[in-house]
Every structure is written in C-alpha cells, then in structure tokens.
Structure 1
Amino acid sequence: MTTAPAAVNAPLRRDSRRRRVVWLVILALLVLVAAIVSVTFGTRAVSFDDIIAGLTGSIESTSAAAVSKRVPRTVLALVVGAALAVSGAVMQGVTRNPLADPQILGINGGASLAVVIGLAFFGVSSAFGYIWLAMLGAAIAAVFVYTIGSLGRGGASPLKLALAGAATAVAFSSLISAILLPRIDVMSVFRFWQIGGVGGATVEKILLVVPFLAVGMVICLAASAALNSLALGDELAAGLGERVRTARLVAALGAVILCGAATAVAGPIGFVGLIVPHICRLLVGPDHRWLLPVSALVGGGLLIVADVVGRVIARPQEVEVGIVTALIGAPFFIAIVRRQKMRAL
C-alpha cells in the first residue's frame, strides 16, 4: 500500500510554515533591536535618562532633543526600507530578473527627474508635490524601460531589461544634470535629496507618505499569489487561469507606488531592493506570500542599521544612508552577476 502524496507532503509543508513563522518572529525582534540602537547611538552620545526624556519630552536638554529627532528618522528608515525591499522583490518577480531593482531599472532615476522638473520649472517645494511627481516619474520610467526591453526577438528578457534600465538611468542622470547646472538655487535644494537619506525626517513627512506606502504595500501583497504563478512562466501561468498581463500590471503598479513614494521622501536610495529579496529567499524560499512580508522586515532593519552606521563612522558628521547602502550593495551586485554568469555557462 502506497502513501498518498498529499499525506507525505503535509508534514513537510507544516515544517516549512513553522520555519517561516520562526524567521518572521526572529526578524521582527531584530528590527526592534535595530530601532532601539538607532535611538540610542548617533553623532551625540546619550544616556538612558536622555532617552527617556527624549521619548517623553519631560526634560529640555540637547541630548534629549537629539533623541527626539532620532525617533522620526528611525521610523522613516523603517518604512522606506520596507517599501524599497518589497518594491524590488515585486520587480524581480514581475520581470523574472534577479538583477531587477528600482535603481538598476531606472525607476529611481525617473522619479528623480520628475522631482527636478517640478523644482526647476513649476516651483514645487512641498513633500506632497514631491510624492506625486516621483510616482508619476517612476511610472513613466517603468513603462519606458519595459517597452524598450520588450523590443526584438524574445520579448522582455532579463538581460534586455537590465540593459534598458541601465541606459535609461544614465540618460535620466544626464538630463538631471542639464536641468540643474544653470540653476544653482535648485541644485542646492536637490543635491542633499539626491544622495538619499532620512536625516530630514519629521512626523509630518511620515504621516504624509504612510498612506501612499500602505496602498502600495496592500497592492503588492494582494498580488503575491499571482507573482508565484508568473514565476512559472507566462504560458504555464495562463494555463493555470492567471491573467498574465493584468497580474503583471497590478503588481508593477504596487511596486511603482512604493518606489515613487519612498524616493520622494528619502531620495533615490539604491541597492536595498536588490539585496534584500535575495537574502530573504535564502530564509523563507521563493513563495511571494512569505517573501514580501519578510522582505519588508529585512529592508526596514537594513536601512535602520545603515543609518546608524552613517551616523557613527564619521562623528561628529554624518554619512548619508544612500552612500552606506551603495557601499554595501555594490559588492553584492557584483557577486550576483558572477553567480548568474556561472549558471549560464
């Protein structure tokens, strides 16, 4: 008598689910620890009393004021890191490209160019205006890169999308420079934002961007099952009853909202969307129903840690978080490229 496959696989599924839940709990605790460290460490050393005073506002002192400023930047790093990580994971799922990332595909560049145009020609100066401009620019860049990458035989292959994204990012960067060079006043405003950082975080800015990030996150999580189908290939996904174009469009919309809103408030921070999904696949596997929540936790924690590192290594000055993530991400990117090349041999 043979055992039914379902009976054999049931314990494996339960073990896999248990392992993923354990990782979720561990990562949530690590993010909490990172947040505590972020509030505690910075360019100015603070005591435990300063932390309590800064959180409660009971004592007016320089150290307590430093703590009170670290709280919103920690929250902003958490939500921006989560948004960029989930956006990268969704982009990799939509394009089936392990090198997909908001920066590499030129989507950050599109958001940046839209913000620069708004600054230079329309006098946009509010965070709310930045958010809408960045999302519009990110959407246009995503459509443009995918269209260019789809041309020719074979459609939108991972290599063509990566090349189209890299070329588009360079073109957008050149356009940004051309617009900014004659306008010194706009350049002085833009250059701090362009590096990418969370040092200018405020409660008002967080409350403004959270609704956009929540909408993008809900869309991406709702598309997680469809992303699992798309990973099998378009033909097989269609055979399973999936509306391939609709699924890809909805998932891409959520990713663009996350990327655009995050870029608007923190600048074009790179490599988070590239690094985090690869790490999370090692922890919980390729199932997007688990991959996206875990990526949100790891992305938020990574950006908090990168912000702390930037504050500590150059005391009393700061290194913006966008520079720290680039230093971490560049070697990781090279490693991924080499791994993909070895697989292709």
Structure 2
Amino acid sequence: MKKALAMLLAMVLMLSLAACGQSSAPASSASGSAAAPVPAESSSPAAAPASSEAASAPAPSGAKDKYLVGVNMGSIDQSYYAYLRMGLEQERKDDVELYVTYHEWDLTTQIKQIEDFVTMGCDLIVMVAADPNGILPAMSVAKDAGIPIIEMDCPTNYFPDYSIGQFVSDDYDAGYQCGKAMAEAMNGEGVVQSYVITATVNSQKRLAGFCEAISEYPGINNVYNATEKFDATTAQTIIENMLLAHPETTGLFTSNDKIASAAVNFFKANNIKSTYLCHVAAGTRDTVYTWLNDGWDYACYDQNPVNMGAAVMRAIYDHFETGAVNTEPTIIAGEMRFAGDEYICDPVYYD
C-alpha cells in the first residue's frame, strides 16, 4: 500500500513539473511577440520607401498635417512676382501655407525677413536673391536651423551647398533673342541703346546675350549700355536722357518690365513708334499685352513665371514627401512675344 502511494505521489510530481515546463515556453514566446511589432513595423510597406529614400537623399522632416513655407520675393510692384506666386498657388494644396514677403531688392531687408522665417519655424524657405553673394549670412542661419532653401528666379553663388534647388530662366538666351529680334526688325542697320541694371546676375546675363547678338550685325552701332541702379523715377529720367542724347536711336533694349514702362511712357508722351523696344521679363503679362497690341512695344522675351512658380511648388512637395534634393539648376523655358500677335492675359493672383 505504501509502495503504491509513493508511486502515485511520484507521478503527480512529474506531471506538475511537466506542466510548469509547458507554461514557461509560452511566457517566453509572449515576451518575444511583445517586441515583435518594432521590427515588423520597420519592414512594413509604409516604412520601406522612407528607408530606401534615405539612402539617396536627406530624409524628409516627417509627415505633417500642415507645412509652413516662407516665400521671399523681389518687388511687390513687379507683376512678374505676382505671376510667380500664381504658379505656386496653382500647385499648392491645403496642407501647405505660404507666408509671402518682398525685400524690394534691399539685401538688409531680405536677410532680416529670412531670419524671421527661421524664427517662425518655417518648414522650407523659397527666396529670390537680392544679392548672389551677400545673401550668404541668411542662408547660413537657415542651414544651421535645418531649414531647406529653394532658390527661385535669381540664383546665388552657394547652390547646391546651401540650397536644395535652383529654378531660373536662361537669361543669356533671353537677351540674345531680344537682340536678334531687334536687329532683324532694323534690317541689320541703325543705332541701339540698352538700359540694364547690373546689380543682379540675371540682368548681367541678359545684357551679355543682347550685346552678343548685336555684335553679329556690323551695320548696327551699339552706343550706350546704362547700368545705373534704379527706381521708377530714376528710370524715367535716364530713358529720357538716353533718347534725347541720341534721337537717331532705332532700337532700345531694357532688362525688365519696370524700365520698359519708363520707355513706353516716353514714347507715348512724344508719339514715338519708330524705335523698336525689346525687353525681358513677364512679356505676356498685365499692361505688357497692351504695349504689344498697341505697337509701343515691339518684342518681349516671356520667361513664363507661372511655369517657374508651379515647378518650385512641385519641388517643395517632392522634398516634403521623399526628401528629394536637386543638385543641378532647373531651367524654365521662355519664348519670344511680338507686337501684332493676339494675347490673352491670365488673371493675376492676389490675396
């Protein structure tokens, strides 16, 4: 009896130990499954693209419900920048808010405005450089704060080290095409003058292209290239002095709409339609349509600012979504517009 009882107790003990061994295995497995979601999530389809993009480009700042983009433009008085903004707005969705300022071509103002963008915590900055060299301190502040910059319209000398994209026109080609159009209209003979502001790289390239085109016509005398910094009143005075000093002028080249406006005012006041006016900027925009259609303006190189603004906004989304960075400039194609052609002006975007 005692022997049977001992055997029974031994069997109970063995069953108890076996049960303990079986319960310890699930406990270990449960611990492993608690940690399992971490590697499982990292290899999920949603996370995999972020990992693969990080190998080729800086990682994006992370998905957000709303992004704030600071946009620092040239002059509020230049319709060109209204059209750049229109292009931005055409591609913008509700998840991006634009905070737009204008530096009016004052470097000190621009540096302060970009520093303000940094203080505001902008997710990205778009800027039109007032000075391709002097803007470095502001770009450094943004870079130190981890805020990417996209250059628009006016390039700096610090791309791609301090910015993730550069969107510009072919300014040399713009000047060259204006020069060719003017020379052909003049049948390769006459006197030309140009009023170009050399404070920006854009205008320097436009003047170089224009002079190259004119040099191909020995019968044309290029007598004067004005390079003074300007405001609207100064431009009016300089244009008057240029044309009064050389009344034989048959061609006038200007680097932007603002100077062209001063020329048109002089032409209208003196009823002059014999001088071929060619200029660069938003050639199919606003009052430029009227100049072309009424014969005060002969030709203009349209830099297509709406297209440029739209391309910049697409690049903004590319960066937010994938961390994309452009290390080569993006050239926005332009085209010549001539008097006599029929143009329909797009509505300008304003707040």
Using the size of structure 2 for normalisation, the TM-score is 0.29
In terms of fraction of residues, the more strand-rich structure is: 2
In terms of fraction of residues, the more helix-rich structure is: 1
